[in-house]
Amino acid sequence: MQQQDEVAARVRQVIDAAGVSAREFARRIVIDPSKLSRSLNGIRRFTAAELARIADIGAVDVGWLLGSAAGAAADTDAAGLTAAGAAVTASPVRSPSAPRPPEPSPEGGRPLQIVRETVRLIAERGFHAVRVADIAAACHTSTAAIHYHFPGRDELLEAAVRWCMDEDTRRRADATAGTRHAGDELRLLIELQTPRTEQQRRQWCVWLDLWAEAARSTTVGRLHVEYYRQWRGTVADVIRRGVEQGVFRPVDADGAALALTALIDGLASQVLATEPGGQDDGVPGTGAQAMHDALTAHVDACLTAPTAD
């Protein structure tokens, strides 16, 4: 228990040195913020892979986080990390004030690079067609390095889902920041969910793949439920504010949000199925613009308050 508390204290030092909140640090190491909180409070142990990612982001050694290089090697071996990962932990111990010597590092650190490339490959090929060797090649590193940060495919998939959730939430927040008119904000959210651009289509391809995986994986299923709870809550809050502003009719905000988000999902899946390469593919009414028009028409017909003559 004492060692667990010491590890938590060192992780806190890394977070303080990074100058970010615990929630933001959790995003950077791609774990659930509640897991980080429980580990920092001694309720839960950090996994070896989480310590590896913390060390990477904080530019410290896993050995220092654990209190000794020897202890780090023993712990990582016990957790089933690769020999390459264990070798990393056996390097000289350094604190956050004594970072590693400069070396080429991908933007955001190796863990985030791995997750971003995993998401890109899932969008292109589907999760089950992506091998660890493909991810390693995309990151210009070894499969041992991938397993060091994410020992198994399940953990890698969970990290990819969480990263997609965080990115989607961040993009929505950035796009709607400062928007006071609820009607304008709801239309902005619809625009963000319409797969017009290559980036939007790639994002939707990942979500479609993850929906299928959520039906088979308890962990991904929980993340799926969490994401949709947050997403529907965001839409409901906008509708509720619109009712207060007199922009929308006095509707049940939660029910209206459920209907609108379900409509978005259904139309987006049709667009992706019939609009390869961003084209209508000769099928009337199935393109991104048709989807956008249908969603705005739904808002106008079911939500927008009638204007006084």
pLDDT tens-place string over residues 199-208: 888 889 888 8
Give the C-alpha distances (Å, rounded to integers) separating 34 from 25, 31, 40, 249, 252.
Answer: 12, 8, 10, 37, 31
pLDDT of 309 reads 53
pLDDT of 307 reads 78
pLDDT of 255 reads 97
Q: Which residue has the higher pLDDT, 280 or 198?
A: 198
Secondary-structure percent of the chain, ordered helix, strand, coil, rounded to 5 = 70, 0, 30
Structure tokens of 98? Answer: 């004594």
Q: Compute the radius of gyration of the chain from its Cα atoms.
A: 23
pTM tops 0.95: no
90 secondary structure, DSSP code: T
Q: Treating both helix axes as pointing N-terminal to C-terminal, what angle do 182-193 and 218-245 enclose, rounded to 10 degrees?
A: 150
Is pLDDT above 60 for 243?
A: yes
Q: Which residue has the higher pLDDT, 293 or 275?
A: 293
Q: Is 21 exposed, middle or buried (0-12, 13-18, 19+ CB in 10 A)?
A: exposed
pLDDT of 76 reads 39
pLDDT of 305 reads 92
Q: Which residue has the higher pLDDT, 105 or 144?
A: 144
Count of beta carbons in the 10 Å neighbourhood of residue 238? 25
For residue 127, name the pLDDT band (cuts at 50, 70, 90). Answer: confident
Is pLDDT above 90 for 186?
A: yes
Is pLDDT above 80 for 237?
A: yes
Rounded to whole angstroms, the Cα distance separating 221 from 211 reads 8
Which residues sit opposite 304 in a β-bridge?
Answer: 248
pLDDT of 99 reads 43
Structure tokens of 18? Answer: 């990074």
For residue 85, name the pLDDT band (cuts at 50, 70, 90). Answer: very low
Mean pLDDT of 222-241: 93
Lowest model confidence (mean pLDDT) among 67-81, 141-155, 238-252: 67-81
Arithmetic mean of pLDDT over the chain: 83
Rounded to whole angstroms, the Cα distance separating 49 from 65 reads 13
